[in-house]
Amino acid sequence: MKIKLENSFITDNTLECEKNCFFLTTEQNKRFENEALKKECKIIDVEECKKLLNIDENIKIIGITGTNGKTTTAAAIYSILLDLGYNCGLCGTRGAFINDEQIDQKSLTTSAILKTLEYLKIATEKKCDFFVMEVSSHALVQNRIEGLKFAAKIFTNITQDHLDFHKTFENYKQAKELFFTDESLKFINKDALAIKFNVKNAFTYGIENPSLYQIKAYSLENGIEAIVMIKNVSFHIESPMLGLFNLYNLLAASACVNELVKPNLINLEKAISNFGGVCGRVEQVADGVIVDFAHTPDGIEKVLDTLKNKKLIVVFGAGGNRDHTKRPLMGKIVEHFAKTAIITSDNPRDEDPKTIIEEIASGFKEPKKALMIEDRKEAIKKALELKEKDDLVVILGKGDEDTQEIKGVKHPFSDKLVVNEILRTSNV
């Protein structure tokens, strides 16, 4: 990509290089530095790039990492800060936003550093006080956050995921730990699997284990109601969102905002209650039909456990070219919670969807009870046809994604739109 300047441009791609342009060298592309020099580019590092773009170093950057909860926690912080009157940016899985305006479409969880610097340039122009970003384990290993100074960092949780990239869970855990070695403000979930972190400027939050930000009482009956105790002070979390996992997300977000800006707690409570959640995360897309992004064993278990008081018809699959070992675990969990399980295609990428479906089914005690329908639209249609009055159809894995990746091609596909199209055109 490239960023235009008045008389030149900055790029991180040697294929775009021209004489006298600026080539941003990073850990990811430094092996191409000689190629850029041959094209008579000016080599710059991240610090020099920030100066060229006039990025305001006073913008407080907040980073969130963890297996699950990054998107919702980041969105909650962004929403709360905006409600409290601050200018704020956000980037992550859902795209990039500045002050309630979307400035870029969905992309990687954590972009290459030049793209993030472009967002920070716009955030500077829009006079942002804060910039919130999701930070993936891939980005930590590849140092896609090189040169960024974080005002606060959040650890949500860690469970099995991305072993196709990290190879072992220990490698994955160490990737997350890379983020928490410095002395910036850190917010650590004490109820999650423990990770190593620098205790200086670390705040803990939790429900089960003693923590600085401690939930003293809560109800998940109709949305979320909770009392948070911090030292000798308390505040309330009230939200229409569902599930214990969302209570953790809101607790992390409110703890972070409280420490960064020290708001009036009544204003904080109001801002928390105004956040209604994120599209594609336990989102009711039609009467008795929920769509969610959950695509890990832990994520699926948390969502289905939240909805277990209903009779569940669960449509799900697993992404291709990703960790094979989690597939039977996902099957085992869905079998435990679902009245009816329908295994289908997710984003098969370069894999045969039938193979993925069979690997998921191997986790069932009784595989014959699972319906296996490779075509995702047909699987959703079948779920809607089987739905009885008190059933809840839960469609997992893609959330608010609007494409399905098959053999290197991204085809238009939205679970939400497919549900509404079927309900509009069929007799289900």
* pLDDT single digits (tens) 31-66: 999 999 999 999 999 999 999 999 999 999 999 999
* pLDDT single digits (tens) 316-338: 999 999 999 999 999 999 999 99
Identify whether residues 339 and 263 lie together within a single domain: no
Neighbours of 352 (CB within 10 A): 12
Identify whether residues 270 and 200 lie together within a single domain: yes
* Mean pLDDT for the chain overall: 94
Identify whether residues 213 and 351 lie together within a single domain: no
Q: What pTM, to 2 d.p., does this model score?
A: 0.89
Q: For strand 283-286 and strand 289-292, is the pairing parallel, antiparallel, or unpaired?
A: antiparallel
- The range of the structural domain enclosing residue 400 comes to 283-425
Judge whether 236 and 225 are in contact, CB under 8 Å: yes
pLDDT interval class at 164 (50, 70, 90):
low
Taking the C-alpha atoms of residue 35 and residue 39, their distance in angstroms, rounded to an integer, is 7
Give the contacts of 171 (CB within 8 A, at least 6 positions apart): none
Assess whether pLDDT exceeds 80 at residue 160: no
Buried/exposed 180-214: b ≥16 CB within 10 Å, e otherwise: beeebbbbbbbbbeebebeeeebbbbbbeeebbbb
Tell me what pLDDT residue 117 has: 97
Tell me what pLDDT residue 162 has: 62
Q: For strand 130-134 and strand 88-92, is the pairing parallel, antiparallel, or unpaired?
A: parallel
- What residue type is 330 in one-letter code? M
The residue among 56, 74, 54, 75 whose CA lies nearest residue 65 is 74
* pLDDT single digits (tens) 369-425: 899 999 999 999 999 999 999 999 999 999 999 999 999 999 999 999 999 999 999
Identify whether residues 100 and 131 lie together within a single domain: yes
Residue appearing with tokens 């008190």: 390
320 φ, ψ to 5°? Answer: -75, 165
Tell me what pLDDT residue 159 has: 85
Residues of the binding site for ATP: 66-72
Average pLDDT over residues 168-192: 93
Average pLDDT over residues 351-364: 97
Residues of the binding site: 66-72, 109-110, 136, 142, 144, 322, 346-349, 397, 401
List beta partners, residue 2. Answer: 11
N- to C-terminal Cα distance for the chain? 46
| Percentage of the chain exceeding pLDDT 70 | 99
Identify whether residues 305 and 172 lie together within a single domain: no
Cβ-in-10-Å burial (0-12, 13-18, 19+) of 47 comes to: exposed
133 φ, ψ to 5°? Answer: -145, 145
Average pLDDT over residues 135-153: 91
Neighbours of 398 (CB within 10 A): 25
pLDDT interval class at 187 (50, 70, 90):
very high
**Which residue, 274, 307, 328, sits at the end of a domain?**
274
Identify whether residues 110 and 13 lie together within a single domain: no
pLDDT interval class at 110 (50, 70, 90):
confident
Taking the C-alpha atoms of residue 2 and residue 240, their distance in angstroms, rounded to an integer, is 42
CATH number of the domain bearing residue 321: 3.90.190.20
Average pLDDT over residues 229-249: 95
* pLDDT single digits (tens) 210-227: 999 999 999 998 899 999
Tell me what pLDDT residue 166 has: 67
Taking the C-alpha atoms of residue 60 and residue 57, their distance in angstroms, rounded to an integer, is 8
The residue among 4, 5, 23, 26 whose CA lies nearest residue 15 is 23
Element (DSSP H or E) covering residue 95: strand 95-98
* pLDDT single digits (tens) 241-265: 999 999 999 999 999 999 999 999 9
Tell me what pLDDT residue 188 has: 98
* pLDDT single digits (tens) 284-310: 999 999 999 999 998 999 999 999 989
CATH number of the domain bearing residue 19: 3.40.1390
Domain count, the chain: 3
**Which residue, 249, 274, 299, sits at the end of a domain?**
274
Taking the C-alpha atoms of residue 93 and residue 75, their distance in angstroms, rounded to an integer, is 11
Identify whether residues 144 and 176 lie together within a single domain: yes
Report H helices in 285-414: 297-306, 326-337, 353-361, 376-386
Identify whether residues 314 and 413 lie together within a single domain: yes
Tally: H helices and E strands in the chain = 14, 23
**3-state helix/strand/coil string of 353-378:** HHHHHHHHHCCCCCHHHCEECCCHHH
CATH number of the domain bearing residue 245: 3.40.1190.10
Identify whether residues 235 and 299 lie together within a single domain: no
Average pLDDT over residues 157-163: 75
pLDDT top residue among 105 and 393: 393
Identify whether residues 170 and 257 lie together within a single domain: yes
Tell me what pLDDT residue 243 has: 92
Identify whether residues 141 and 81 lie together within a single domain: yes
pLDDT top residue among 348 and 106: 348
How far are the Cα atoms of 122, 302, 316, 322 from residue 296, in angstroms, in the given order? Answer: 34, 10, 11, 11
How far are the Cα atoms of 74, 131, 250, 330 from residue 91, in angstroms, in the given order? Answer: 8, 8, 18, 29
**Which residue, 239, 255, 274, sits at the end of a domain?**
274
Identify whether residues 31 and 77 lie together within a single domain: no
Assess whether pLDDT exceeds 70 at residue 5: yes
Residues of the binding site for meso-2,6-diaminopimelate: 322, 346-349, 397, 401
CA dihedral (337, 357, 413, 74) positive or negative: positive
